[in-house]
Amino acid sequence: MPEATGPLAGLLAVDLATTRAELAGRILAELGATVIKVEPPGGAAARLLPPFDDSKPRGPETSLYWASVGAGKKSVVLDIEDAEDRRKLEPLLQQADFVIESFDPGYMDGLGLGYARLSESNPRVIYASVTPYGQSGPDAHTAATDLTLEAAGALLDLQGDADRPPVPVGYPQASFHGGAQAAADCVMALNERERSGLGQHLDVSMQAAMVWTLMNATGYPPNTGGDPPTSGPNRLVPLPSPIPGIQLPRQWECADGYLTVQLVGGRVGKTPLHSVLEWAEADGLVPAELRGRNWSTWVADVVGGVLSVEDAKLALESVRACFRLHTQHELMQMGTDAGLLLAPVLRIDGLLTDPQLADRDYWVKVDGRTQPGIPVRLSETPMSPPQRPPLLGEHQDLLAGFAPKPPAPRPARAARPRIFEGLKAADFAWIGVGPIVSKALADHGATVIHIESFGRPDLLRTIPPFKNGVAGLDNAQFMANFNSSKLGININLQSEAGIELAKKLIDWADVVTESFTAGAFERLGFGYDVLSKERPELVMFSTCLRGQTGPQRAYGGYGGQGAALAGIYGITGWPDRPPHGPWGAYTDFVAPRYGVAALAAAIRHRRLTGVG
């Protein structure tokens, strides 16, 4: 197994996690840390989880789940309930930068392996404990599974068809969210250790991690006194249609599956329906009496009686017929070219043939199997490509290289700074992923300035729930939730004066975050290649739906389209019905955990080397 590269190269993580948090070690390994998985005799429970590679006899080396979460780790076998094996483990723990565990609260303390005991001999250790409900509180010892935690985090109540019981996302999620959050927290804590010399104990609640998948739903009870629309007692109450007499489907059939598309709203003069009807007309599917009509105001025309409901339905039937003629990948490219909120509901085979992922060399061969590649591209310290998971006990001889050491001197205790205290960030990111990532900087002490303009405010300001039920740019809980701890400024990026002011703000900042469509920030003169020539210490975080390169880099969309493109939408729902998809902009809750881990690693690299 080749040595890892990446921003955490040279650091050691001891992975004692159960299936609740296997992903934490995987992410640290991708970031370059040496991750030693300590497995019980017989192997980690993750080695026995389905699905399995059916081309080989079933066993601890054929779990495809383990092939994913175990990638890049090294394996040693020790029974931590055995005193002699704990003695062998102690030198490894004494030199660890990170320890990850996910046993029930108190279990590790009972073995003498808890943070309080370990920090006496290794005061620099960052010790992450991932549990269902946290280390304390009335539910700390409550039995839990991924399913019950998704329910306790309130995600289940928001998903599924109204006439049937709620459904979870089609593959268990709580352990992934908890593990990814632990990895991000570990890298943030590492930044503080560089200043104080001390580690700390990280208490990660899987339920709390799931609550961050709720988007604006958390704001409804305190602001409206009730649950969000289509959930709880409102579950059977359909949302009113913006078009009287017409109910648009959640997804549309196409030649090889389903797609989601937004046909309401859009650019003046070139609304989504207008664009799609052009495709349908090219296919010869639009009745003569509907051709040449201005569809830029079709919703208002139906409401005002200018366009009949019958003609609108006829146009939508032309759209339906057009979609059925084209494949998902054809429609995706057509939508990208037209600037539409259109996304195929990809199955796994669709993911493997996706031209955007192929162009970005996303898929990699690991031990003869095709697997997803790295989630974030770092220009200076690239993440390690996935390596095969270790055989059980494959690296047992590593233990001999760790000799017992006397306790390390503990740095004099002084007031510890907040993790990112003194850091300055210019936040040009809107909506979800970018603002949540920059919020992590702000919550931990950075000065973060969120940039908008009165002419083009952050879209979250226009989405309910609103304080006291009154709509307004400063009343949206959604906006407040994702941008707490920040400052705000109005800059018109359409004007020369605005561009000049933005440049001054970028010159002030240590970190710049942006979520423009790929290429848009560069066209403003703010591309990283340009800015880093003047300021090689600058760190820039760019997030968009399809990445900064590739044939569909210009695609603009949100987390709902992201969930469709990532295959999550297609596995959520009932098997006898079209997929329902997960709640809200689901990938907006996945991407920030990877984004925070990568950005925090880049900030540490800057602190150590002066290079962004």
Asked if 556 and 562 touch (Cβ cutoff 8 Å), the reply is: no
Between 411 and 211, residue with greater pLDDT: 211
Q: Number of helices and strands (H, E) in the chain? A: 22, 16
Residue 408 has pLDDT above 80, yes or no: no
Give the confidence band of 264 by pLDDT, cuts at 50, 70, 90. confident
pLDDT of residue 309: 93
Neighbouring residues of 340: CB distance < 8 A, sequence distance ≥ 6:
261, 262, 266, 272, 275, 276
**Two tokens, residue 317:** 């039937």
Q: How much is the mean pLDDT over the chain? A: 93
Residue matched to tokens 């980690």: 44
**Which of the residue ranges 155-164, 405-414, 491-500 would you say has the lowest mean pLDDT?**
405-414
Residue 3 has pLDDT above 70, yes or no: no
pLDDT of residue 232: 84
Residue 8 has pLDDT above 90, yes or no: yes
> SS3 of 90, please?
helix
What is the distance, to the nearest Å, from the Cα of residue 30 to the centroid of all Cα atoms in its chain? 16
pLDDT of residue 267: 47
Asked if 147 and 172 touch (Cβ cutoff 8 Å), the reply is: yes
Residue 410 has pLDDT above 80, yes or no: no
pTM to 2 decimal places: 0.95
CA distances from 411 to 1, 95, 420 (A): 36, 16, 20
Residue 266 has pLDDT above 70, yes or no: no
pLDDT of residue 488: 96
Give the confidence band of 2 by pLDDT, cuts at 50, 70, 90. low
Residue 268 has pLDDT above 60, yes or no: no
Neighbouring residues of 570: CB distance < 8 A, sequence distance ≥ 6:
170, 257, 258, 345, 346, 347, 564, 579, 581
Residue 363 has pLDDT above 80, yes or no: yes
Kindly report, residue by residue over 454-465, the tens digit of the pLDDT. 888 999 999 999
Asked if 302 and 244 touch (Cβ cutoff 8 Å), the reply is: yes
What single-letter amino acid sits at 125? V
Residue 233 has pLDDT above 90, yes or no: no
Between 386 and 410, residue with greater pLDDT: 386
Kindly report, residue by residue over 73-129, the tens digit of the pLDDT. 999 999 999 999 999 999 999 999 999 999 999 999 999 999 999 999 999 999 999
Is beta strand 257-261 parallel, antiparallel or unpaired with respect to 252-254? antiparallel
pLDDT of residue 1: 47
Kindly report, residue by residue over 180-189, the tens digit of the pLDDT. 999 999 999 9
Residue 4 has pLDDT above 70, yes or no: no
Picking from 508, 25, 468, the residue whose alpha carbon sits closest to that of residue 222 is 468
CA–CA gap between residue 173 and residue 167 (Å, rounded): 12
Q: In the chain, what percentage of residues exceed pLDDT 90?
A: 83
Q: What are phi and psi of 261, to 5 degrees?
A: -155, 140
Rama region for 72: left / alpha / beta (φ>0; ψ in -120 to 50; rest): left
Alpha helices in 444-526 (DSSP H): 477-483, 496-508, 520-523
Kindly report, residue by residue over 526-578, the tens digit of the pLDDT. 999 999 999 999 999 999 999 999 999 999 889 999 999 999 999 999 999 99
pLDDT of residue 430: 93
Between 412 and 360, residue with greater pLDDT: 360
Residue matched to tokens 């820039």: 540
Kindly report, residue by residue over 580-596, the tens digit of the pLDDT. 999 999 999 999 999 99
